[in-house]
Chain A
Amino acid sequence: MAAVLSAPSPSPLAETLPEDVVLRADDLHTHFIVGERAAKSVDGVTLTVRRGQTLAVVGESGSGKSVTSLSIMRLLAYPGRIVSGRILYRLRDGTVVDLASLPEKRMRAIRGKEIAMIFQEPMTSLNPLFTVGDQIMEMIRLHEPVSRQEARQRARRMLELVEIPAAEKRLDQYPHEMSGGMRQRVMIALALSCNPALLIADEPTTALDVTIQAQILDLMRRLQRDIGMSILFITHNLGVVAEIAHEVAVMYAGRVVEQAPVGALFARPRHPYTKGLLACIPNPERDRTADGKRLMLKPIPGNVPSVLALPPGCTYAPRCPLAEPRCEREAPGLVPAGPGHLSRCFRHELL
């Protein structure tokens, strides 16, 4: 399989991907089609992951953030499929491939070895019938021709890397014998065991307690520093975004509505949805008067539209305080709104 990857292939795609970019999704559309109806879960996603950096993809339920990651990994379940767009990815040898159209056989060599993924609930992504050592060894031996003994050595080193105490003993334990935090560490060890260039983490700390979440975020930051991997971090929690991200892509109803460096995004959001979302999180300094009286929060009115019936024009327009008639007719494109800052809003200058 390694041969397939390293085979010299003329790569006209390379020119379209700047040197510091590992992955770029370009106007990606992933729909779930049943009969005449299409659920447009991902409806024009454009995002960029830079080498050695963390891009946080943030959005509420139904924004399409998980479907975006599954599209990148090509793990979509029927009837979901990528209907248009490109997912450019730079392989370790420098070749750029379009994951959206890559044959499944080549995808198999990319999953785990180039791009690995961890999920929210480690219990459902680990096999309860095998020891964690067996699961990590299977992963290593699937991609590399090493002996069982050597694989076990490497599996133990992986557990040590993710700071699991008594690693040798843990290798022979089953997932149910571990706590949630330990299982998430095992998932990370498993994901990193073939040294991927990109790690996709889908809400990896959402099911964890806050003190355990702090441990895992700390671990991920350290691993990124030591190994230099890029991370696509999917979350709904803007607090976690502020802690872990270099850049942020905000998703709403299947589209990226804003992408910016983390500082710029929080300091001056350039999309009304991002601004609205930040206003929804209680902030005692902002939401209390000097004598401690609570002020009401400013929620976003209404609900997220159904992916089965997205409004024409800007999908946020029905809830947007800045919407004008044009927003209901025309869909805005993702346009520059500052240094490294993109916004999908006609009126971003008003923010």
Chain B
Amino acid sequence: MSQTQSPAAGDDVLLSVRNLSKHFPTANGVVKAVEDVSFDVRRGHIVGIVGESGSGKTTAGRCILRLVEPSEGEAIFDGVDLFKLSQKALRAYRRRMQIIFQDPYSSLNPRMRVGDIIGEAIDTHRLAKGAARQARIAELLTRVGLSPEHARRYPHEFSGGQRQRIGIARALAVEPELIVADEPVSALDVSVQAQVLNLVQELQKELGLTMLFISHDLTVVEYLCDDIVVLYLGRVMEQGPAREVYANPRHPYTRALLSTAPIPDPTVRRERVILQGDIPSPLDPPSGCVFRTRCPFAIDACATTVPPRETVSPGHTVACIRQAELASLDIRKVSA
């Protein structure tokens, strides 16, 4: 099961996640929130992690930053396994990795002024003091499209989109190399979402940021991400370059997801694959392939074999024992 894929590990890989698992013991048994997840994030690229509720996308992101302690696996960041570092040693790496949260209402301390929210990050890592600190806060606020005067205000005085900008400014304060963005635009209205997506792209380009973009919104991921990892019940179903996966989805789950994601165009006619039933409980995941209980193509063997990752084109892997025979089956016919 833990066949380690030979990573395309070159100098350009900033983060390499290998066989990451996170198990939560509960009163009713062990929840395998993340199971044997591996992927690479190249420097300056945006990798999208997509999945529905319970897919483990948020847990995976937090494990990498060790905001949640992983159960197994490795996360090689710039040559060092983050999972082996002591808390003290980790601190230096924390500065190089930051997180942006989904909910701009609960992720900012309502009793702190915006300047102090951003300043706290600067203080923690002793990056600047006094006038230099103030100047840095002003610069960051300007950079994310707010004004230096906003430093004196409190979070409740801002709209959702502005708060998300504050969250971004806080993440940027320590000049990180990697940003884990956990559904950063999901709580925003479409018009504001577009503003924040543009900001994210500008920053990514200017600062050369590397990003892990966690989202359930397939449209946003297709637009923004270079690579994509599709999770279901904690396991990777399919991964690869985003354009390739969207153009040629090979896993039945990816195909179903893409065929049912609403497209804002009433003239698009597609063959929908509507999955039956609910996502199974992570407390009692199906044996073999976890997707088999909802898969329209499941056969007996799917219940006994955990499907290995198979490479179908450069960098594009699929975990489905029937992927080869299903490849010719065009279930995502899209025609305008």
Interface residues of A (CB under 8 A from B): 60-61, 179, 181-182, 209-215, 217-218, 236-243, 245, 262-263, 266-267, 276-284, 287-288, 292, 294, 296-300, 303-304
Contacts and interface: CB of A to CB of B under 8 A. Distances in A.
Contacts of B197: 282, 297
Q: Which 10 A-B pairs have the closest CB atoms?
A: A239-B262, A282-B223, A214-B260, A299-B194, A280-B194, A209-B52, A60-B189, A238-B264, A300-B191, A299-B195
Contacts of A279: 194
A335 B264 CA distance: 25
Contacts of B193: 280
A32 B190 CA distance: 26
A277 B257 CA distance: 24
A308 to B, nearest CB: 14
A179 B102 CA distance: 23
Contact of B194 (A237, A294, A297): A297
B256 interface: yes
B224 A236 contact: no
B251 to A, nearest CB: 13
A188 to B, nearest CB: 16
A8 B261 CA distance: 48
B53 A209 contact: yes
B159 A60 contact: no
B201 interface: yes
Contacts of A303: 159, 161, 192
Given A239-B262, A243-B262, 15 more contacts: A179-B278, A210-B218, A210-B262, A211-B256, A211-B260, A211-B279, A218-B274, A238-B264, A243-B266, A278-B264, A280-B193, A280-B194, A282-B222, A300-B191, A303-B159
Contact of A263 (B262, B263, B267): B267
B260 A213 contact: yes
B219 A266 contact: no
8 contacts: A214-B272, A214-B274, A217-B262, A239-B263, A242-B263, A277-B190, A281-B190, A304-B189
B220 interface: yes
A80 B201 CA distance: 42
Nearest to A297: B194
B265 interface: yes
A282 B193 CA distance: 10
B80 to A, nearest CB: 31
Q: Is chain A's binding surface mostly helix, strand, loop or mixed?
A: helix
B190 A280 contact: yes
A239 B274 contact: no
A284 B201 CA distance: 15
Nearest to A301: B195
Nearest to B273: A214
B53 A236 contact: no
Interface string B178-203: 00000000000111111101100100
B231 to A, nearest CB: 12
Contacts of B219: 239, 281-283
Interface string B210-247: 00000010111011100000000000000000010010
Interface in B31-62: 52-53
Nearest to B260: A214
B160 to A, nearest CB: 8
B191 A209 contact: no
A263 B219 CA distance: 21
Contacts of A263: 266-267
B303 interface: no
Contacts of B266: 242-243, 245, 262-263, 266
A266 B219 CA distance: 17
A211 B198 contact: no
Contacts of B246: 284
Given A239-B219, A280-B193, A211 B262 contact: no
Contacts of A284: 222-223, 246
A211 B267 contact: no
A245 B197 CA distance: 28
Contact of A241 (B191, B201, B264, B279): B264
B275 interface: yes
Nearest to B55: A209
A292 B192 CA distance: 24
Given A60-B189, A236-B190, A266 B260 contact: no
